[in-house]
Structure 1
Amino acid sequence: MAIKKQFLKSKPVCKVTFTLPMEEAKNAAVIGSFNEWDQKATPLKKLKNGTFKTTVDLETSNSYEFRYVVDGTTYLNEEQADSYAWNDYAGAENSVLSL
């Protein structure tokens, strides 16, 4: 798993690339406070090497909670998250991205 942040000089936006190595998975998505936790809003594209990847433009000066969803049922946190936050609704921690 990996997160890459690319801050833009021209506007208050950061291009965030989410990478998830999951060769055995059929599909994956990133859900979070930036897309209203919608599994269909931000799918990850499966590359030939079995890694899933997508890039999202997010407003800077914010924090976002997120998780990965693999095959619609498995929820994973990002190992390289800036921090983690407990979520009572899910009964689990969410990854936090601070921009």
Structure 2
Amino acid sequence: MLERKRLKGRTQIAFVLPEHQPPAPVSVVGDFNHWNPAAHPLQSRGDGTRAAHVSLPAHSAHSFRYLAAGDYWFDDEQADQHDGTNNRIHT
């Protein structure tokens, strides 16, 4: 799930997943963090979900995917678009 909060000139994106689905550590990786899995690991929010927050420039588009332990890549069904390989988000 994607949560968006518009700020002056930027959009704060929360990439949100259920706490234990998948049951391994998960990171959001994308062109905004040079596909680095250590940059944005999802952290527990205490409400049964986990999230990572990224601030992106307004009126921009970015590719991303989730990466779980064991080299398990997966998509976000709520992404704005899918380009065949990656999810796309528009701010």
TM-score (normalizing by structure 2): 0.88
Aligned length: 90
Aligned equivalent of 1:84: 82
Deviation at 1:61, TM superposition (A): 1.4
Query: Alpha carbon RMSD of aligned pairs, Å?
Result: 1.6
Distance in 2 between residues matched to 1:44 and 1:72, nearest whole Å:
16
Distance in 2 between residues matched to 1:49 and 1:6, nearest whole Å:
19
Distance in 2 between residues matched to 1:67 and 1:38, nearest whole Å:
11
Counterpart AA for 1:19: V
What secondary structure does 1:34 align onto?
helix
Distance in 2 between residues matched to 1:60 and 1:75, nearest whole Å:
27
Which stretch of the first structure deviates more once superposed, 74-83 or 40-49? 40-49
Aligned equivalent of 1:71: 69
Structure 2 runs not aligned, ≥5 long: none
Distance in 1 between residues matched to 2:53 and 2:76, nearest whole Å:
15
Aligned equivalent of 1:16: 13
Distance in 2 between residues matched to 1:74 and 1:46, nearest whole Å:
19
Counterpart AA for 1:95: N
Structure 1 runs not aligned, ≥5 long: 87-92
What secondary structure does 2:83 align onto?
strand
Distance in 2 between residues matched to 1:49 and 1:27, nearest whole Å:
17
Higher CA-based Rg = 1
